[in-house]
Structure 1
């Protein structure tokens, strides 16, 4: 399973913020910390905020921080939130049809569920190596 770059860097951003434990960081600081251009980071941070993982404050003393404790955010839920629509192969999408006429959707769906179940058991705090 390959995640999009946006999901990968979304996880990196959450880990980076988790390691700062409540410190307000600007998008520019997060971008520098995860090695991504600021304009791309802003888009990712907006998606994470919309999904409820980040809180933000505007203004001179504004910034971004985790909206929930890092140990309460599972990697699986972040992947589900950022990978929209989430389909491993095109034929799993509602409008998709298998060119080969194969019936492997059920097997692929089970594999995807197992993959996400593993990620559900991993918190952002765990991969950030932060104490609760």
Structure 2
């Protein structure tokens, strides 16, 4: 299974915000930290707001913050929302002649179920875990290295 770039960016935004609890983060700061297009990031931000994962603040000191505690943000639920749970293959388009005897679709459905079940075991807090300072340092060094 391959996650869309949109989902990848959404997870990165949430991780970044969880590293800075209580701080309002500018969209430009997140874009610089991950070398993301600001325009693409705005689309991600809008979906995260609609999903009630983050809140936005307007104005000169505006930006974004997590709307919930990281321990309340389930990774599986978020990925389902952003990716959907459509079957991995469609045996009807075009109609597959071996469909009545083939178990590929069943195997892929089981694999997708296992994939989401595994993601359901994690929260945003789990992704950051006890590596918060290391993650902050990596991002800080990345941005500083890119600024030279």
Q: TM-score range by the shorter chain?
A: 0.7 to 0.9
Deviations 1:13-40 (A, max 9, x none): 1000000112101111111122211111
* Count of residue pairs the alignment pairs up: 128
1:91: which partner in 2? 90
Does residue 1:113 correspond to 2:113, yes or no? yes
Does residue 1:76 correspond to 2:101, yes or no? no
Q: Is the 8 A contact 2:24 2:63 kept in 1?
A: yes
The CA RMSD over aligned residues, in Å, is 2.1
More off after superposition, 113-122 vs 28-37: 28-37
TM-score, normalised relative to structure 2: 0.76
Whose radius of gyration is greater, 1 or 2? 2
- CA distance in structure 2 between the partners assigned to 1:64 and 1:73 by the alignment: 16
Does residue 1:53 correspond to 2:46, yes or no? no
Runs of 4+ in structure 1 deviating by more than 4 angstroms, as ranges, are: 95-98
Task: Name stretches of at least 5 consecutive residues in structure 2 with no aligned partner.
Answer: 132-148
Deviations 1:30-57 (A, max 9, x none): 1112221111111111111111111111
Aligned CA distance change for structure 1 residues 130 and 62 (closer, same or farther; 3 Å): farther
1:26: which partner in 2? 26
- CA distance in structure 1 between the partners assigned to 2:111 and 2:78 by the alignment: 18
Task: Name stretches of at least 5 consecutive residues in structure 1 with no aligned partner.
Answer: none
Greater percentage in helix: 2
